């Protein structure tokens, strides 16, 4: 989702763009694609044949269960490949997409200075990737984020799942005790574009929306914005025994630091939902 959106956004600028992935791109020609997995040394070696000014590292294994089961692969992808790229392009701007789940979720309104206590291997390995970036590249910019949006074909994100259930007339449960500060994927892509054009000083940045809300409230917003029956959305409570993998409950973030560098509207939750509404028409799905 994010990679394709970033590609579309950067295509509007004066960049020569390369991408990596497991299959050919519909936008980039094959001679501008590194096809394969970033854990493959051959792919990494091929990437090093180009002298990049900017690296945007948004590849991740986001399947929490798979991260726990396949820890070696997850470490290679999130940490080893990150360290290699950050070091190989140590003079380039290195943008690493991390996650708000590095925070323990036992507090709220986290700043970048708050201690991190990852509760699962996905979050742990992403934090290790942050460390590898900062140690290996003096120009590393870490974006801790939680974004929403949709893919073509439709994926399995919270937004896509909720819309599908609401369209089918089903009741949808949302956790009222799970809080986050979501950022629309289009806004995140615009932020990455802005960083490419005018990088802030290196370091860690919370890149969330300007509104903290529960998953229940988020799904209610989806129902209201897209004309579904809001009574289909039911409130429920997340408890530890619901999931085999521990997850943080409240990852709401203070975004004051990044707003010093970029316009406040870039993080506006209202603007993000307006963009989502313009980009996505569930009635035509």
pLDDT for the residue 285 = 42
Look up the CATH number of the domain holding residue 117: 3.40.50.720
SS3 per residue for 145-178: ECEECCCCCCCCCHHHHHHHHHHCCCCEEEECCC
pTM of the full predicted structure? 0.94
pLDDT for the residue 153 = 64
Note down pLDDT in tens along the chain; length 285 residues. Answer: 888 899 889 988 789 999 998 888 778 888 899 999 999 999 999 999 999 999 999 999 999 999 999 999 999 999 999 999 999 999 999 999 999 999 999 999 999 999 999 999 999 999 999 999 999 999 999 999 999 999 876 677 899 999 999 999 999 999 999 999 999 999 999 999 999 999 999 999 999 999 999 999 999 999 999 999 999 999 999 998 888 899 999 999 999 999 999 999 999 999 999 999 999 874 444
- The number of distinct structural domains making up the chain is 1
**Residue 171 sits in which domain range?**
2-284
pLDDT for the residue 102 = 97
Q: At what angle do helices 215-225 and 269-279 cross, to 10 degrees?
A: 50
pLDDT for the residue 282 = 45
Q: How many CB atoms lie within 10 A of CB 241?
A: 6
Nearest CA to 248 out of 163, 127, 165, 166 is that of 127
Sorted by sequence, the CB contacts under 8 Å of residue 280 that are 6+ apart come out as 150, 163
């Amino acid at each position: 989702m994010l990679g394709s959106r970033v590609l579309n956004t950067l295509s509007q600028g004066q960049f020569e763009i390369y991408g990596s992935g497991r299959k050919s791109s519909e936008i980039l020609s094959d001679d501008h694609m590194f096809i394969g997995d970033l854990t493959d040394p051959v792919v990494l070696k091929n990437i090093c044949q180009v002298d990049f000014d900017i690296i945007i590292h948004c590849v991740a294994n986001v399947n929490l269960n798979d991260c726990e089961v396949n820890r070696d692969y997850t470490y290679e992808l999130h940490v080893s490949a990150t360290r290699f790229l950050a070091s190989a392009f140590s003079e380039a701007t290195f943008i690493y997409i991390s996650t708000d789940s590095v925070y323990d979720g036992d507090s709220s309104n986290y700043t970048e200075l708050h201690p991190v206590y990852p509760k699962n291997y996905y979050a742990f390995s992403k934090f290790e990737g942050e460390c590898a970036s900062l140690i290996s590249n003096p120009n590393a910019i870490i974006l801790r984020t939680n974004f929403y949006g949709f893919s073509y074909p439709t994926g399995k994100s919270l937004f896509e799942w909720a819309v599908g259930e609401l369209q089918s007339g089903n009741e949808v449960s949302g956790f009222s005790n799970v809080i986050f500060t979501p950022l629309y994927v289009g806004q995140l892509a615009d932020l990455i574009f802005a960083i490419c054009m005018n990088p802030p000083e290196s370091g860690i940045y919370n890149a969330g929306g300007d509104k903290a809300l529960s998953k229940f409230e988020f799904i209610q917003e989806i129902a209201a914005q897209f004309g579904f029956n809001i009574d289909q959305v039911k409130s429920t409570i997340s408890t530890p025994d619901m999931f085999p993998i521990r997850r943080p409950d409240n990852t709401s973030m203070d975004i004051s630091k990044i707003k010093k560098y970029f316009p406040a509207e870039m993080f506006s939750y209202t603007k993000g939902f307006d963009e989502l509404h313009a980009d996505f028409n569930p009635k035509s799905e």
